[in-house]
Amino acid sequence: MAGVRVALVTGGNKGVGLAVVRALCKQFQGDVYLTARNPKLGEEAVKALNNEGLSPLFHQLDINDLTSIRALRDFLKEKYDGLDVLINNAGIAFKVADTTPFATQAEVTLKTNFFGTLDVSNELLPLIKPGWPNTAYAVSKIGETVLSRIQARQLKETRKGEGNILSAASQPFTAI
């Protein structure tokens, strides 16, 4: 299926991830994968979307588990010879009122949100196929964001000690 485009959402069984899967099913021309760490929750979410007339596919993915990440990587390589869109959505957040000790919250949160996402990116980004979003606006904003970061770095060097003198407002655009 090397000619078929494929998009994948991490943590797609609920919340923002589920909404992104729904939107991709409506707009993306190709296969859309809803992934979830818990296959039961993932399959239930797929069924709910099926009831809306949408047809996402499912693959298990726990971003804290390298074996799970690599199984998905190998599957994508084998079936699609790559990946077109990766939406790194899976994440956790303790409620403000949660009484879990701060050190535990920090460890658990960083493990998933930072290191888990890093592991997924390290394993899946090498599969990303070259492409160009079909929206000039999005491309312009990606360029603007990168430009601002470069300018901020230059200003930090040339105008040391003046604090932050550059800020930029730009909508993030996740699709590659």
Ligand X SMILES: NC(=O)c1ccc[n+]([C@@H]2O[C@H](COP(=O)([O-])OP(=O)(O)OC[C@H]3O[C@@H](n4cnc5c(N)ncnc54)[C@H](OP(=O)(O)O)[C@@H]3O)[C@@H](O)[C@H]2O)c1
Q: Which stretch binds ligand X (CB under 6 A): 5-13, 73-81, 97-105, 152-160?
A: 5-13
86 touches ligand X (CB under 6 A): no
Which H/E stretch holds residue 6?
strand 6-9
106 touches ligand X (CB under 6 A): no
14 touches ligand X (CB under 6 A): yes
**Of residues 100, 137, 139, 153, which has the active-site annotation?**
137
Shortest Å, Cβ 17 to ligand X: 5
Q: What region, left, alpha or beta, does residue 98 occupy, with left being phi > 0 and alpha being psi -120 to 50 degrees?
A: beta
Q: Which stretch binds ligand X (CB under 6 A): 23-31, 55-63, 69-77, 94-102?
A: 55-63
Q: Which of 22, 37, 59, 73 binds ligand X (CB under 6 A)?
A: 37
Per 3-state DSSP, what percentage of the chain is helix, strand, and coil (rounded to 5)?
50, 10, 40
15 touches ligand X (CB under 6 A): yes
Cα–Cα distance, 141 to 170 (Å, whole number): 6
62 touches ligand X (CB under 6 A): yes
Shortest Å, Cβ 61 to ligand X: 6
| Residue 80 annotated among the catalytic residues of the structure | no
Cα–Cα distance, 37 to 70 (Å, whole number): 14
- The DSSP call for residue 125 is G
Looking at the Cβ atoms of 14 and 141, the one nearer to ligand X is 14
64 touches ligand X (CB under 6 A): yes
Looking at the Cβ atoms of 75 and 81, the one nearer to ligand X is 75
Report the relative pairing of strands 57-60 and 31-36 from DSSP bridges: parallel
Which H/E stretch holds residue 33?
strand 31-36
13 touches ligand X (CB under 6 A): yes
Closest CA to 36 of 78, 98, 90, 73: 90
Task: Supply the residues annotated as catalytic.
Answer: 137
